[in-house]
Amino acid sequence: MILTHPACLLHFPGPGHPESPDRLRAVLTALAAPEFAGIPRVEAPQVARSLIDRVHAGIEYAQIFAHAPHVQSLRLDADTLMHPAADSLEAALRAAGAVVAGVDAVLDGRARRAFCAVRPPGHHATPERAMGFCVFNNVALAARQALDRGLERVAVLDFDVHHGNGTQDCFEREPRVLFASSHQWPLYPGSGSQTESGVGNVFNGHLPAGSGSREFRAVWHDQLLPAVDRFQPQLILVSAGFDGHRLDPLGGLNVETADYAWLTSEIVAIAHRHAGGRVVSTLEGGYSLTALAEAGAAHVRALFGFVS
């Protein structure tokens, strides 16, 4: 299934901001192609406030709920603006709600795989604060939902060009969650050293600026995917950021569209071995509209088995 919601287009971080509504429009336009017509579309619900409170305990999150309905704009950090604040709050609630609903759908047997075409992204949001274009940590909320439903091994795989510092912060002391990330190093937000290993559940793969297909595939094939395979996850969650693409204006990598299709197929293969095929993926970064459309479509194609 594909989960999305029109509210995710209403969040507007400001003129010229790279995390614009056009990003999601590009993905949705690509997924409107006839080849994807057979995938069920589901309107994303809002995530439950009780689940947010379990993952995001910082006082800043209470302030978001207190202020967003009553102000026009709410700046959370230098890069993260909620505008109009009430619309941005609904977009963030729907973005997180999509991933949580995707988890419920695959655990209930209503789907085997899900892609969440949503924004704002989430993987930089920490338990204490929103940051880096992210309000709530969508994939972390989904992982918490899976644990609450009784799973004992959940893997979160992140191939965004930036390290998912918030996701790592949420689970670095939680052995039931494995976090594996490839990211450009060094780069914002400065976390993601290979020495950061949590309780043996965190795996960070570095990609120097200029790295392309060979390096991207090697770090996953040689380092990260074997760790995921050994973990034998019962569910795989994916933070699907496409800003490592060679066309992306914010990243410094040279990953190709075909590399995302390859990695997605490898992820699905692991899910078939250990998780009954269950994968829930959600959109993170990606700021070239061309690359987003091409790589996003390639990812969904491979996720749902349209290509090997």
pLDDT of 146 strictly over 70 = yes
Token pair belonging to 45: 């619900």
What's the 3-state SS for the chain?
CEEECHHHHCCCCCCCCCCCHHHHHHHHHHHCCHHHCCCCEEECCCCCHHHHHHHCCCHHHHHHHHHHHHCCCEEEECCEEECCHHHHHHHHHHHHHHHHHHHHHHHCCCCCEEEECCCCCCCCCCCCCCECCECCCHHHHHHHHHHHCCCCCEEEEECCCCCCHHHHHHHCCCCCEEEEEEEECCCCCCCCCCCCCCCCCEEEEEECCCCEHHHHHHHHHHHHHHHHHHHCCCEEEEEECCCCECCCCCCCCEECHHHHHHHHHHHHHHHHHHCCCCEEEEECCCCCHHHHHHHHHHHHHHHCCCCC
pTM for the whole structure: 0.98
Crossing angle of helices 289-303 and 21-31, rounded to 10°: 40
Token pair belonging to 51: 């689940």
pLDDT of 58 strictly over 90 = no
pLDDT of 45 strictly over 90 = yes
Average pLDDT over residues 172-200: 98
Q: Which of 86, 77, 105, 90 is nearest to 1 (CA)?
A: 105
Q: How confident is the model at residue 306 (pLDDT cuts 50, 70, 90)?
A: confident
Average pLDDT over residues 146-158: 98
On whether the CB atoms of residues 241 and 159 are closer than 8 A, the answer is yes
pLDDT of 284 strictly over 90 = yes
pLDDT of 128 strictly over 70 = yes
On whether the CB atoms of residues 82 and 65 are closer than 8 A, the answer is no
Average pLDDT over residues 243-256: 98
Looking at residue 307, its pLDDT comes to 53
124, 206, 245, 274: the active-site residue: 124
pLDDT of 308 strictly over 60 = no
Which residues make Cβ contacts (< 8 Å) with residue 66, sequence separation at least 6?
A: none
pLDDT of 266 strictly over 90 = yes
On whether the CB atoms of residues 118 and 42 are closer than 8 A, the answer is no
Walk across the sheet containing 154-158 and list its strands: 41-43, 2-4, 113-116, 279-283, 235-240, 154-158, 177-184, 202-207
Looking at residue 90, its pLDDT comes to 98
Q: Which CATH number does 2-303 carry?
A: 3.40.800.20
Q: Is residue 5 flagged as an active site residue? A: no
pLDDT digit string, tens, across residues 168-178: 999 999 999 99
